Amino acid sequence: MDVRAAAIPEVKLILTRRHGDARGFFSETWNHRAFAAAGILAEFVQDNHTHSAAAGTVRGLHFQIEPVAQAKLIRCPKGAIFDVAVDVRRSSPTFGRHVAQVLSADDWNQLFVPKGFAHGYCTLRPDTEVIYKVTNYYSPEHERGVLWNDPALGIAWPVRPEEALVNERDRGFPPLSLAPELFA
Report the number of distinct structural domains present in the chain.
1
SS3 178: helix
132 a catalytic residue: yes
CA distances from 141 to 15, 45, 136 (A): 34, 18, 13
In a domain, 80, yes or no: yes
62 a catalytic residue: yes
Q: Which residues pair with 113 in a beta bridge?
A: 72
For residue 180, the model assigns a pLDDT of 87
In a domain, 108, yes or no: yes
Q: Assess whether pLDDT exceeds 80 at residue 184.
A: no
**CA proximity to 150, closest of 125, 113, 120:** 120
CA 69 and chain centroid, separation: 14
Residue 165 DSSP label: B
- Whether 60 contacts 119, CB under 8 Å: yes
Q: What is the pTM of this model?
A: 0.95
Q: Assess whether pLDDT exceeds 80 at residue 140.
A: yes
Range of the domain at 74: 2-19+28-178
Task: Look over the chain and give the mean of its residue pLDDT values, rounded to a whole number.
Answer: 96
Q: Assess whether pLDDT exceeds 80 at residue 61.
A: yes
Type of residue numbered 60: G
CA 55 and chain centroid, separation: 17
Label residue 65 by pLDDT band (50, 70, 90).
very high
Question: For 107-127, what is each residue's pLDDT tens digit?
Answer: 999 999 999 999 999 999 999
**CA proximity to 61, closest of 138, 169, 177:** 169
For residue 15, cis peptide bond before it (omega within 30 degrees of 0): no
Question: For 19-54, what is each residue's pLDDT tens digit?
Answer: 999 999 999 999 999 999 999 999 999 999 999 999
CA distances from 162 to 30, 36, 123, 124, 173 (A): 37, 42, 15, 16, 16
Among residues 19, 62, 119, 137, the one annotated as catalytic is 62
For residue 27, the model assigns a pLDDT of 92
Q: Which residues pair with 49 in a beta bridge?
A: 131
In a domain, 183, yes or no: no
Rounded distance, CA 33 to CA 45, Å?
16
Among residues 19, 132, 137, 138, the one annotated as catalytic is 132
CATH number for position 133 = 2.60.120.10
Residue 140 DSSP label: G
**CA proximity to 150, closest of 123, 114, 177:** 177
